[in-house]
C-alpha cells in the first residue's frame, strides 16, 4: 500500500496511511514526511504498535532527541521519552499529569527550540483528553500588513517559569516546577516572527505558556498586544482538535504550530502518553 497523506481539517493537520512506524521508514517516505510536517503542521498516524525503542528510533530519523528537564517524568531506560500521565501506581506518579494543559510550543523556552514532537497514546480516557493544534502560518498571514511589519521587528522573552507562575500555580503544589527545572531554563529571547526552514513561510513564534513579554518592554507594557495576539492565534478557524485513539502517534512541528492538551477528564480516567522531542535549530528571523 503506497503512503497516503490527506488533510484532516481545513486549517491544519493531515492523516498518514500506508506506513508502519515500527520499522525504519524508507528514504522516499522519510522525505515525504519531512515535507508534509512542515506543510501541514501536524501528522496523525493511526493504529501504530510501537515499543519505546521503536518510538525513539522513528523519532531519531528526524534528528537528535531532547531530554526533558523534568527528570522524574522520564521513562526508565529511555530518557528520550517524556511520560505525560495521570496514572499512579503504588503511590508513585507514572509521569507528568499537568503537562501541556495550556497553549504552547514545546521547548520554546530553550535557546534552541524543538523542531518537532511525537506523542504516542497508550491509554486514553473513555471521553475527553483531546489535544488542540493551531496553525501559526495562518495566524501570521491573517494579520494586517502594518502589524506584520511591526511584529517582524520585535523579539520576545520565553520563560518556562512563566508557565509555572501563570498556569501550574493555579493547580496546586504538585503541579509546580521545582527549583532545579527553573535553574536549568533561564529566560531566552526569540524573534516574534520566524521563517520556516523547509517551507520558507513566515509564522508567529509566541505562545501563552512561555512568552512573558517583548524584549525592551515590561510585562505590563507587553500585555495588551500579547493578549490580542493570543486571542487571534487560537481562534477556531486556525485549529484542529485531535481525538485520541489508543496506538495513535501524532507528529507536530513546533516551528509553525501551538498545541493545548484539554484536561476535561477526571483523575479516575487514565491518560498515559509517551512523547519524544526532536532537536531543532535557532529560529530564522525575517
Residues known to be catalytic: 104, 106, 259, 275
- Strand runs labelled E in 37-168: 42-45, 74-75, 78-85, 88-89, 92-93, 114-123, 131-135, 155-158
Q: In sequence order, what E strands does 177-238 have? A: 188-191, 193-195, 202-204, 211-214
Distance CA 121, CA 109 (A): 25
Return phi, psi of residue 7, to 5°.
-55, 140
Q: What is the DSSP string of 27-43?
A: HHHHHHHHHHHHHHSEE
Q: Sheet holding 74-75: strands in order across? A: 4-7, 14-17, 42-45, 249-253, 114-123, 272-279, 78-85, 74-75
Give the residue among 171, 156, 166 at the shortest CA–CA distance from 108.
156
Question: Do 42 and 13 meet the contact criterion of CB atoms below 8 Å apart?
Answer: yes
CA distance readout (Å), 128 to 105, 124, 132, 241, 271? 21, 8, 12, 11, 10
Distance between CA atoms of residues 246 and 204, nearest Å: 32
Amino acid at each position: 500500500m503506497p503512503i497516503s497523506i490527506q488533510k484532516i481539517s481545513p486549517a491544519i493537520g493531515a492523516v498518514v496511511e500506508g506506513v508502519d512506524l515500527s520499522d525504519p521508514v524508507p528514504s522516499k517516505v522519510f522525505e515525504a514526511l519531512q515535507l508534509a510536517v512542515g506543510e501541514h503542521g501536524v501528522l496523525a498516524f493511526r493504529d501504530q504498535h510501537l515499543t519505546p525503542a521503536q518510538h525513539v528510533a522513528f523519532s531519531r530519523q528526524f534528528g537528535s532527541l531532547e531530554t526533558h528537564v523534568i527528570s522524574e517524568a522520564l521513562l526508565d531506560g529511555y530518557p528520550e521519552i517524556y511520560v505525560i500521565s495521570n496514572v499512579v501506581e503504588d503511590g508513585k506518579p507514572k509521569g507528568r499529569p499537568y503537562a501541556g494543559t495550556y497553549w504552547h510550543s514545546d521547548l520554546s523556552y530553550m535557546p534552541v527550540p524543538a523542531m518537532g514532537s511525537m506523542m504516542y497514546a497508550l491509554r486514553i480516557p473513555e471521553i475527553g483528553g483531546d489535544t488542540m493544534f493551531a496553525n501559526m502560518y495562518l495566524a501570521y498571514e491573517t494579520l494586517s500588513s502594518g502589524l506584520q511589519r511591526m511584529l517582524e521587528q520585535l523579539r520576545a522573552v520565553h520563560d518556562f517559569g512563566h508557565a509555572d507562575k501563570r498556569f501550574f500555580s493555579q493547580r496546586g503544589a504538585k503541579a509546580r516546577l521545582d527549583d532545579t527545572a527553573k535553574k536549568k531554563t533561564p529566560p531566552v529571547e526569540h524573534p516574534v516572527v520566524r521563517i520556516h526552514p523547509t517551507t520558507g513561510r513566515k509564522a508567529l513564534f509566541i505562545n501563552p505558556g512561555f512568552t512573558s513579554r517583548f524584549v525592551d518592554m515590561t510585562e505590563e507594557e507587553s500585555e495588551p498586544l500579547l493578549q490580542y495576539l493570543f486571542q487571534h492565534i487560537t481562534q477556531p478557524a486556525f485549529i484542529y482538535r485531535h481525538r485520541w485513539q489508543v496506538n495513535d502517534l501524532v507528529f507536530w512541528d513546533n516551528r509553525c504550530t501551538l498545541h493545548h492538551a484539554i484536561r476535561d477528564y477526571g483523575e479516575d480516567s487514565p491518560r498515559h502518553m509517551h512523547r519524544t522531542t526532536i532537536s531543532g535549530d535557532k529560529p530564522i528571523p525575517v
